Structure 1
Amino acid sequence: MTRFSEMETFVLVAETGSFTDAAKELHLTPSAVSKMISRLEDRLGARLLQRTTRRVSMTVEGRTYYDQARGILAELDAVEASVGGAEAEPRGPLRVTLAHGFGMQQIVPLLPEFLARFPKVDVQLTFADHVVDLVAEGHDIGIRTGQLHDEVLMARRLGSHRRIVCAAPAYIERHGAPKTPADLMHHNCLLFDGPAGLNTWPFRVADGRVERITVHGNFQTNNGDAILRLLLNGVGLCYAADFAVGRMLRDGRLVPVLTDYAADVSWPIHAVYPARKHLAAKVRVFVDYLVEKFTPRAPWEV
């Protein structure tokens, strides 16, 4: 076995967390994969993996080796992809997992054009508002909003989003607009049944500090579409993602409030995918397509 084979095998074991799963993909036996990793560790003089009866995880040294090895393999893939044969026609099922709100507002409207460009790709969307294990659940791509914590995935930044306190004109006509963040205590706010931070709204106050106000209201749900429906009907104020309300702010169906106190807080949006030996053409063209549509300026920016 070459040093390259050992490196490639280690990366695959690290990403799958399993000798058995890595062996299946490499068409080897689990014992052969285990011996290859042991030879690599002996040659390096360092333990790279912690082995338990249920899972394999990286040591600190293993993480260092993995980060470097993944970059080397990615560069090699790029070289091979540039010489013709790797530029295969995109085809086959493309399994994408993403949050419901961002997916329905920003990804689904882009699919007709993508499917027309690449008619042999079969897009399969799975909506999930929790972080999905791409490898374990068999997904090719995940679209994630917020900070990334899974370092074994490759990531391509698509942009960022922020949240805006807004209301329908009908609500402002009936109740007036809050003048300061403290005024929110006297307003009906639409609440998300999810991370507590979404109901604690940040504002920049006079001395430059960010102050968080916990809001209250008579409606709470875990469904962004329901929040949006009540927001548009003038039921209350909302701290809404710009990708969901940007178009409505531009056309006047919603109006921003407390803009003088807006905190400069944003969250990144990435496409993530397993760092396998060969990046499938269907994955590459889908990620490239999203980058094309979302950069340099995202369509939801107000």
Structure 2
Amino acid sequence: MKKILTLLFTALFIFALAACGTAEEDTQKDTDTNAGEAQDNEAAEENTEATTIVVGSTAVPHSEVLEKAKPILAEQGIELQIEVYQDYILPNQDLNEDRLDANYFQHTPYLNQQVADFGYDFVSLGGVHIEPIGIYSKNITSVDEIPDGTAVLLSNSEPDHGRILALFEREGLITIADGVEPTEALLDDIVENPKNLEFDPSYDPGFLPEYYNREEDTLVAINTNYAIEAGLLPTEDALILEGPESPYANLLVTKTGNENNEALLALLEVLRSEEIQTFMEEEYSGAIVPVNE
């Protein structure tokens, strides 16, 4: 009888050990499974972050063009977040401070000036479109009718001065000093000014359309983005308009070291696609000119 009881207790003890072992294995499997799921979720979050890009732009036409590109990028698994700015200063500051992955609003001379002034370590991924700058006037309807001593209102953005002066030289209104590239000229480089035009470069570019409406007998140099916002059609309303040969393409810009970001390169490709270029041409009636380099 004692032998039978001993065998019975031994069997029960072995069974209990086996059960404990199985429970421990199941617990470990559950732990491993939960850890694996956590890693998968973390990887998924990282992938989501990797395919989300934040791009800063001015309102018109840049943010509108980006909005058009947004669903096309979504089809590629890239979420585009657009931050809209009303000035030319903050988009570069925010890019430098990593609040943006890229920005889309500036041309090469402005970018170069910003790099020189603030030490930004930026790189252009490429041009997207040209916004021909124009000279506007409420009352002056032809170049031949410009009176002597007419005031010319310019933006306080010095990189734009050369392209504006190049337009005035093209029309025979001024002469730039020999050896100075017209698009790089400054006001001090004017050597002939037969109509004694009074150039005043003290205006915030965003407010120039207001001065166009207020100062009716002046000439006002307005960037196309601000002209469009103000309801002006550059191809019809500008007295003098920059041509499509302009070297001032608006760029997609990012920080150096980020130029191989696949999502940003995909954005550039979409912005240069036939669909987006057709949109720009039709939406803005030729006021902006798509580029591919």
The two structures have a TM-score, normalised by structure 1, of 0.48
Structure number with higher relative contact order (C-alpha < 8 Å, ≥ 6 residues apart): 2
The two structures have a TM-score, normalised by structure 2, of 0.49
Determine which structure has the larger helix proportion and give its number: 2
